[in-house]
Amino acid sequence: MRCIVTAGPSYQPIDEVRRLTNFSTGCLGTQLAEYLLSKGYSVRLFRGSYSTYRSDLPDQVSVEFTTPESLLALFRSHAAEKIDVIFHAAAIGDFQFGNAWVRAEDGTLNPLKAGKLPSRQSGLLVELVPTLKIIQQLRQLYPTTLIVGWKYEVDGGSQDTIRAGNRQLEECHTDLCVLNGPAFGKGFGLLAKDGSLIPHEDAGSLFRGLEEFLRSARPLSGSADV
């Protein structure tokens, strides 16, 4: 079985010297890739270049991405291959930078464009706009592939996280959603399209649960509901 795993953060440039990223280390996705390799699966790991977690994975297994656009380009470059399952665990940033303005002494805002936005200003405002949602593109690129998404939530409670996971399953036509984060609580949850939720107390249990799901899901469901 051939697998693609994504891990780690993306980033977005604010100018030619500054970037916006997140706290993802790439640990969970990279460890999942290591687990799948140990079980005999063929694995390709797409790992954010700013991941702080590193491993001894062979060079031919791992390739780095930077922005959401570069990750999408990697997915497109592999779309002609027979990929059985995608584990999309990477933390893709929700925002990118739009326009920038400098605040004049009288309070008016003047548009600003520069290779390096000046820091010695009385006030600098930068617009944040939504980034490309990679997971929304995957079903079209991989119509018969089993796709596992992630939903990490900070605010709210477990039911809020479950609702967010169900939205991802419905809107992105994915097959399974991994739930975690402070809002969900301890451990992980595997949320299926039928609404069933299986809890896992740690990463090891989660990986075994994902492998069990792979075995039970064959033949792959893919595009039946697109």
- Helix and strand numbers (H, E) in the chain are 5, 13
- Alpha-carbon Rg for the chain in angstroms: 19
Give the separation between CA 137 and CA 104, rounded to whole angstroms: 42
In this prediction the pTM is 0.90
Average pLDDT across the chain, whole number: 91
CA atoms 57, 63, 67, 73: torsion sign: negative
Domain ranges of the chain: 2-94+133-225, 96-130
CB under 8 Å to 126, separation ≥6 — which residues?
14, 97, 98, 99, 100, 101, 117
* For the chain, percent of residues with pLDDT exceeding 70: 94
Banded model confidence at residue 59, pLDDT cuts 50, 70, 90: confident
One CATH from 3.40.50.720, 3.40.50.10300, 3.40.50.1000, 1.10.220.70 for 2-94+133-225: 3.40.50.10300
- Could you read off the pLDDT of 78-122 as tens digits, one per residue? 999 999 999 999 999 999 999 988 888 787 888 988 888 877 666
Banded model confidence at residue 63, pLDDT cuts 50, 70, 90: very high
Taking the CA atoms of residue 136, residue 142, residue 145 and residue 146 in that order, the dihedral angle to the nearest 10 degrees is: -10
50 contacts 108 by C-beta, under 8 angstroms: no
Output the pLDDT for position 219. 44
